[in-house]
Amino acid sequence: MTTIDKSGSATKAVRSRWPALFALLALGCLYAALPSSLLLGGSRWLLLLIISVLIVPMVVTHYQGAHTTNQVLGYVLNGVVTAAMVISLSLLIIALPSHLEKPQELLKSAAALWLSNILVFASWYWRLDAGGPHKRAQRAEHASGAFLFPQMTMAPESKHAAGFQEWSPNFVDYLFLAFNTSTAFSPTDVPVLSRWAKVLMMLQSIISLLVIALLAARAVNIL
């Protein structure tokens, strides 16, 4: 396996991590925008507080080189935001027959949950693919993983001409993949190779379908 020097690895890791951390903070803000009836315990800022508290040791462990601890913290944080999204979605579906939510709030909730779905699964894809961000940053180029990005199929001379000879996916690439999955219900230009990734993409598509077909359609119908 070809690797790159430590300074190059650190630069790639930092460039990939900050967008992922901002995405988690955005998830906390989206959660705070939901009606209180969809919040576990009714606490609007609890999730954002948990995210903010966990991000601090994640940043510290990354710069200290404690990558195993950093990875575990990442899994815990991803698990927390995933659980919060699923609980809010479940509460909204349960509340639909009672017609308690106003149409405008229903649309607002559907939009927030749909965006949260994209950010949550983009975080999982970024966290799990090819051993995670740290291991990907150690490689000179991204040649294998759970997803077959177009850059991975380019001929060496084409990669060199396009400046992709040391290309590896960062958070934006996984965000684009998650966005396509939630809109087209398919990976579009990025084939899926691993079984775990196929399972996650099926779950993301199901959640997106629930939000769009059941919640948003219901809200539009009763406006």
Domain membership of residue 125 (yes or no) is yes
Domain membership of residue 1 (yes or no) is no
Domain membership of residue 60 (yes or no) is yes
Question: What pLDDT tens digit does each residue of the chain (223 aa) get?
Answer: 444 545 455 555 556 678 889 999 999 999 999 988 888 777 889 999 999 999 999 989 988 989 899 999 999 999 999 999 999 988 888 877 776 667 778 888 888 999 999 999 999 999 999 888 888 877 777 778 889 888 888 777 777 777 777 788 889 999 999 999 998 877 778 889 999 999 999 999 999 988 887 766 666 666 5
Number of domains in the chain: 1
Torsion of CA 86, 88, 89, 93, to 10 degrees: 140
Name the residue range of residue 50's domain: 6-222
Domain membership of residue 154 (yes or no) is yes
pTM of the model: 0.86
Domain membership of residue 111 (yes or no) is yes
Q: Are 147 and 190 in contact (CB under 8 A)?
A: yes
d(CA 127, CA 187): 18
d(CA 92, CA 77): 23
